[in-house]
Amino acid sequence: MPGGASVEMGADIFDLVQNSIVLCDRGGRVTRWNVASEQIYGWNQTKALGQPVHDLLKTRREIVPLMEQGLRESGHWEGDVERRAASGVVKTIRLKCVLSSPTEIVETGTDITDQGRMEEALSRAEHRYTNVFRAMAVSFWELDFTAVGGMVEQLRREGETELAAYLAANPEFVRKLIRATQVIDVNDLSVSMFGRGDKKEMLAGLEPYWPEASFPVYAAAVVAAVEGKPHFAAETRLSSIDGREYDVWFTACFPPEMLARGKLLIGILDISADKRAKAALEMSEQRYRSLFHVLPVAMLQVDRRELADVFTTLHRDGVRDLKAYFQEHPGFYEYAANSIQVIEVNQRAIELFRVRSADQLIGSAARVWREARETIQAAMVARFSGAARFEAEMKIRTFDDQIRDALYVAHFPEAYGREALGLICMLDISDRVEAQAKLSRMQAEFAHAARVSMLGELTASIAHEVNQPLGAILTSGETAIRWLDRPEPDLGELRALATRTVSDARRAGDVIRRIRSMASNGEPELIELALNDVVEEVMTFLGPELKRQTLQATLDLAPGLPSVRGDRVQLQQVFANLAVNALQAMAGQGEPRLLIRTAMIDPRAVCAMVEDNGPGIPPGQLHRLFQSFFTTKKGGMGIGLAICRSIVEAHGGRLEAANLPGGAGAQFRFTLPASQAESIQSSPLAKRRADA
């Protein structure tokens, strides 16, 4: 053997070395055994020589094929192995094996058992550090991956190139790998999390902790290790030995030097609590989401981060009055409105803006606010000054170019801070606004018509008042002429006639003087009317006044009344006049009550009654009530009731006043002939019975 001499020569040198040096033949039998080997393993040379080294030293069986494979393929292997010394003590040997010739293996070994103890000591020194990890609830596991490495290598040798796919397709193989993964060590937390208080119990296969649903994560970790990735991390679900499951963050490090020794350190972070919080958050988010989509209010989620940043800058630059800033920088509004992004909208928003899908609203908010510059600018000013909420009525232009009225409420939740996600709610109040406009229009029309009609009625009333003295003047004048035509005129009679003429002329002049202006007589417009509607309209008109006086107004409208033929505005005026008179009569008294009733007297007449619980009409004034210019009211013109009566009479009806029995108040009652036409359907408004 050519190298024999040198080996022989080197024998002494071997003995000088502190490392164990063992020479084996190709069959693994010991051919040389140096002094250090005796010291480390406790076997003397005599005992060792000729023995199969792995049998002698109880090298862990899984390792042996790996060593042989390494030697066969690359002529060398190195790694940490556990061996048993003659004393039975298990030692950790850092082994380096070299195939020095086709028939000889040289293995050098260093006893690193103590080194391990030192490492342990070191870790004790790092107790505090470890504590930190404990506090962070990280479970550490040291795993022996050696067998797994062998199995995967075997697979590769069998020609399997797509490891990931293979593992995915063969869960049973993954199960075998997991079973073959040995737990070498775990920290306390791992014991409390995954064990039953006994750490030793856990120092076996990994299988109990790895539920089948989590196999893919194990497989991915294996693939990562094989592919030479430095580490692997994934969220998965692991189980304790007695079946409690945890959501965990699983990390594995593959430093080459550890891999070489078939070892692996994994860290497991319990994220169950995290998960629960997240789940709660998701649920709350879900609730918010369903509210967002279900509430019958148009809602837009906007991202106003950019504007918030601009606001911050403006604040820093000393801008205090954003309104003034808008005026000084004409382009700023455009920019600001465009910077706000609509990021989500609900179904009602889609309906409000009359778009086909949410996408059309997503994007710059300026498109959504085309008709509302003033309002949006005001909202921005409010936000700039720190308001958390802004509310205003605004006009919006729908995408099919209709103008709608909306109540605009913007909410800037503080929780989002500068990243300001804003929530905008819009309520379509077009109907309300329209109804209000209609009411004001009606009020205006009513007031106008009342004025016109009043002047018309006034004219008739005035004509009567003037015709009365004129008639007397004419008669007196003609009488006087007839006296003068007599041969002996009665001067006393003539004087009396002249005196009366003067006084009647004055009376006529007084009437005229009391009239400041006159309008031409408006022709009444006679149409088929439901008396109940007229009453309802007047009550609507008087609503605010009734409310102001905290008056209990009761409508008792008989259903199915025949219609009347009349001028709506004039009849409204009669009602309004009677109702206002009643209110004035009751002014200042406690518990004023107004009762308006309608009824059918006979098939040819309907009547309406306005009753109050005021002081009633003084008996002596009852007959003068409808005379023009008769008034008991300070500052009253005394034509209201006169006009009312002439209106009612012009409609072929009667207006009468009476006191209710027992001094319970006054009643004005007017009767109108029923129209010959079919009873017209009362509007829904009039069907309501209401207390104002």
Partner 1 sequence: MVGLPISVIDDDESTRIALAGLLRLLGFEARTYGSAEEFLSIGALHPCCCIISDVHMSGLSGIDLKRRLDESGECTPVILITGRSEPRLLAEAAASGAICVLRKPFDTESLLAGLRQANVV
Work out whether 212 is an interface residue with partner 1 (CB under 8 A). Answer: no
Task: Name the minimum Å distance from CB 653 to partner 1.
Answer: 10
Note whether 566 binds partner 1 by CB under 8 A: no
Tell me the HSE value of 561 on the side-chain side, using a 13 A CA sphere. 32
531 vs 625 by CB, closer to partner 1: 625
Residue 182 or 476: which CB sits closer to partner 1?
Answer: 476
What is the rounded distance in angstroms from the CA atom of residue 375 to the CA atom of residue 394? 6
Among 251, 338, 347, 627, binds partner 1 (CB under 8 A): 627
Give the shortest CB-459-to-partner 1 separation in angstroms: 9
The 461-490 site mask, x for binding partner 1 (CB under 8 A), equals --xxxxxxxxxxxxxx-xx--xx-------
Q: Does 652 bind partner 1 (CB under 8 A)?
A: yes
Q: Which residue in the set 326, 369, 626, 668 belongs to the binding site for partner 1 (CB under 8 A)?
A: 626
Using CB under 8 A as the binding rule, the residues of this chain from 67 to 86 that contact partner 1 are none
Count of alpha carbons within 13 Å of 196, Cβ hemisphere only? 5
Q: Is 504 in the site for partner 1 (CB under 8 A)?
A: yes
Site for partner 1 contains 525 (CB under 8 A)? no
CA-only gyration radius of the chain, Å = 54
Q: Is 624 in the site for partner 1 (CB under 8 A)?
A: yes
Q: How many angstroms separate the CA atoms of 94 and 78, rounded?
A: 8
Please tell me whether residue 26 binds partner 1 under the rule CB under 8 A.
no
Smallest distance, partner 1 to C-beta of residue 625, A: 8
Q: Does 131 bind partner 1 (CB under 8 A)?
A: no
Residue 103 vs 467, nearer CB to partner 1:
467
Q: Which of 35, 362, 427, 460 binds partner 1 (CB under 8 A)?
A: 460
Four-CA torsion 347, 349, 353, 358, nearest 10 degrees: -60
C-beta of 505 vs 692, nearer to partner 1: 505
Nearest approach in angstroms of CB 547 to partner 1 is: 36
Nearer to partner 1, 184 or 526 (CB): 526
Among 110, 338, 503, 679, binds partner 1 (CB under 8 A): 503
Residue 658 as a binder of partner 1 (CB under 8 A): the answer is no
Distance CA 33, CA 40 (A): 11
584-587: Cβ within 8 A, 24+ apart:
584/633, 585/612, 585/614, 585/615, 585/665, 585/666, 586/549, 586/551, 586/612, 586/613, 586/614, 587/549
CA atoms of 324 and 494, how far apart (whole Å):
84
Smallest gap from Cβ 577 to partner 1, in A, equals 18
Residue 572: CB minimum distance to partner 1, A = 20
User: For 89, which DSSP code?
Assistant: -
Among residues 156 and 506, whose Cβ is nearest to partner 1? 506
Nearest distance from C-beta of residue 508 to partner 1, angstroms? 10
| Dist. CA 528–CA 553, nearest whole Å | 27
Q: With binding defined as CB under 8 A, does residue 315 bind partner 1? A: no
Binding window for partner 1 (CB under 8 A); candidates: 279-287, 385-393, 498-506, 527-535: 498-506
- 507 lines the binding site for partner 1 (CB under 8 A): yes
If binding is defined by CB under 8 A, does position 500 make contact with partner 1? Answer: yes
Q: Nearer Cβ to partner 1, position 460 or 605?
A: 460
Examine residue 313 and tell whether it contacts partner 1 (CB under 8 A): no
For 134, half-sphere exposure in the C-beta direction (CA atoms, 13 angstrom radius) is: 13
CB contact at 8 A, 302 and 420: no
Q: What is the 3-state secondary structure (H, E, C) of 559-609?
A: CCCCCEEECHHHHHHHHHHHHHHHHHHHCCCCCCEEEEEEEEEECCEEEEE
CB of 582 to partner 1, least distance (A): 21
Residue carrying the six token digits 């009567």? 464
Question: Interface with partner 1 includes 333 (CB under 8 A)?
Answer: no
- How far is it, in rounded angstroms, from Cα 15 to Cα 22? 11
The CA–CA distances, whole Å, from 82 to 14, 58, 60, 259 equal 23, 8, 6, 16
CA angle, 628 as apex, 624 and 633 as ends, to 5°? 75
Smallest separation (angstroms) from partner 1 to the CB of 535: 23
* Closest CB to partner 1 among residues 338, 479: 479
User: Does position 646 bind partner 1 by CB under 8 A?
Assistant: yes
270 is an interface residue for partner 1 by CB under 8 A: no
Q: Site size for partner 1, by CB under 8 A? A: 35
Distances in whole angstroms, Cα of residue 653 to Cα of each of 194, 603, 630, 670, 672: 99, 14, 22, 7, 4
Distance CA 675, CA 672 (A): 9
Q: What's the DSSP call for residue 75?
A: S
372 vs 454, beta carbon nearer partner 1: 454
Binding positions for partner 1, rule: CB under 8 A = 460, 463-476, 478-479, 482-483, 493, 496-497, 500, 503-504, 507, 623-627, 646, 649-650, 652
